Amino acid sequence: MMQNNKFIRQFLVVCIALLALASGCEVQEDFTYKPSGVDGKLGVTAWEFIQTSSDFEQLRTAIIRTGLQNLYQDEERTFIVPNNNAFSTYLQNSGYGSIDDIPLPILRNMLRYHVVRERIIFTDPDIVRDRPLPYETENGQLMYLSRNNNYVGLINQGTSRQWEIRTSNLEPTNGVMHAVDFIVYFSAPAIDNSTETTLDRDTIYPLHDSFVAGDSPGELYGNTNYGANPLLRPKYASPTGNSAYDRVAYLMFDLEDFEKPGIVVDMQLRLAVSFTTGDGYTLDLYKAANNNWTESTITFNNAPGRAGDRISYVTTSKVDAFNFDITDFYKNESPSGRVSFTVESGAAPAGNKTDDLASKEHATLAPPMIIATLATNQNELVVETNEQATVSNGGSVVINTDLLEIAGADAGDIIYTVETAPLKGWLIRGADIIGQGGEFTQADLQSLSLLYIHDGESSGEDTMVLSARDRTGAEIEDIRVSINIQ
């Protein structure tokens, strides 16, 4: 009878916890307040709990497929448990149809990152608000855990990608569980290791700027000039490009106005924002077909059209300025003298949207400008380290600076390109596979963000071939990185 009562109590605790998960309640203990009324103690192992919950069906499938049941059953750990929504989002974003489509070593590595080798509960006084601490996970990378003022747990706070835990402090008999709505991955804190550089800046301003507006029934704007307007007002209303609500901004610059010498490593067209709805549609930048216009004469009916494909774009949001990256345009086309651009609004959600950007006639906001970042000398890149990596069959290894390091520029400026991808495994950063043509930086190597995962089916040696460059144009080719598979 006593055994039956014990089983009933455990079953009821599990049921209550499942109801908390299903309703989105936070099982967040603190020292004075328990919002759910549940102490989070489950009375069963993490694996037993996962098997009883419909919220974790996909996680259960993944654990069975990878054979990691014992990790969730026997070891005392902190388990970050992604729910069904987390897996559905990951599968959609990664192009997989189901859990079975994920390569087994990648899936196994993913799950191992979600298991921390210590017992971490957010009511622990050592877990201080907004102060992430590093903990080793089962895949060998670090996870940074912290909490906010409401004892809500945070994963990788202060890095390039952080997540909020949905339900914290569930306590199976073999550790702690925290449920999340996302598949999480290693994201490193920023490393400030910049050195003194020879970078300089030069800025030019437009010769002419204006916007034009098309006609609509009963309203004739096609021959109206807006060159004296303090605003540039691109707006989208129809795909025909012939509406009063279709407006295009025009800007003309003379690149000969740049005065400082150097190698262009970055070039941005900056437009100050007077007003934007900021609804996440695009503003698209094109080269105009010619420079046969002035701001005092241009109208919708005589304005030049586009020339070529889109150069750059920004996604509208509530910011002070929109910055269009035109570096590749400048390097690929090597324009000189006068060049004209059009700024056009992409299709906006929920009807017509307006963006009011400062023209050079605006009384208080900064005028449009092109800002060039220049290197006064070309760097010299040198391969300092290129060692063979070693990985177990079906395992993973972090590709770090002990294995590969190039000197001669800031780590964030040294960009590797994968010329030949590994054939017996995958190069992984975060949740992404870096294939042929993919890129990563020296900073990724420094921050332990790069993994090689073996496919578990082949032996011998794997090789990837890389090239490297920096923003000054320095290059190194044919960098061969070998991986010994044991």
**Which tens digit of pLDDT belongs to each residue from 261-296?**
888 989 999 999 999 988 788 999 999 999 999 999
Q: Do the beta carbons of residue 179 and residue 218 sit within 8 Å?
A: no
Residue 284 lies in a domain: yes
Task: Choose the final residue of a domain: 124, 153, 180.
Answer: 180
Rounded Cα distance, 61 and 26, in Å: 25
Same domain as 71, residue 140: yes
Same domain as 434, residue 345: no
Look at residue 32 in the predicted model and tell me its pLDDT: 31
For the CA atoms of 43, 48, 53, 58, what is the dihedral angle to 10 degrees?
150
Same domain as 403, residue 338: no
Q: What is the DSSP letter of 392?
A: -
Same domain as 73, residue 140: yes
Same domain as 310, residue 357: yes
Task: Choose the final residue of a domain: 180, 211, 240.
Answer: 180
Task: Choose the final residue of a domain: 375, 396, 431.
Answer: 375
- Average pLDDT score over residue span 72-79: 94
Residue 190 lies in a domain: no
For the CA atoms of 282, 444, 476, 335, what is the dihedral angle to 10 degrees?
20
Look at residue 238 in the predicted model and tell me its pLDDT: 61
Residue 193 lies in a domain: no
Same domain as 387, residue 370: no
How confident is the model over 114-126, as pLDDT tens digits? Answer: 999 999 998 888 7
Domain region containing 444: 382-485
Same domain as 167, residue 60: yes
Same domain as 9, residue 88: yes
Same domain as 364, residue 223: yes
Same domain as 438, residue 399: yes
Q: What is the DSSP letter of 370?
A: E
Residue 310 lies in a domain: yes
Dihedral sign for Cα atoms in the order 446, 447, 449, 453: positive
Local structure of 173: helix, strand or coil: coil
Same domain as 160, residue 11: yes
Residue 413 lies in a domain: yes
Task: Count how many domains the chain has.
Answer: 3
How confident is the model over 305-351, as pLDDT tens digits? Answer: 999 999 999 998 889 999 999 999 999 999 999 999 999 998 765 45
Look at residue 197 in the predicted model and tell me its pLDDT: 53
Give percent above pLDDT 70 in the chain.
87
Residue located via tokens 């972090």: 398
Residue 391 maps to which CATH number?
2.60.40.10
Same domain as 295, residue 278: yes
- The phi and psi torsions of 314 (rounded to 5 degrees) equal -125, 155
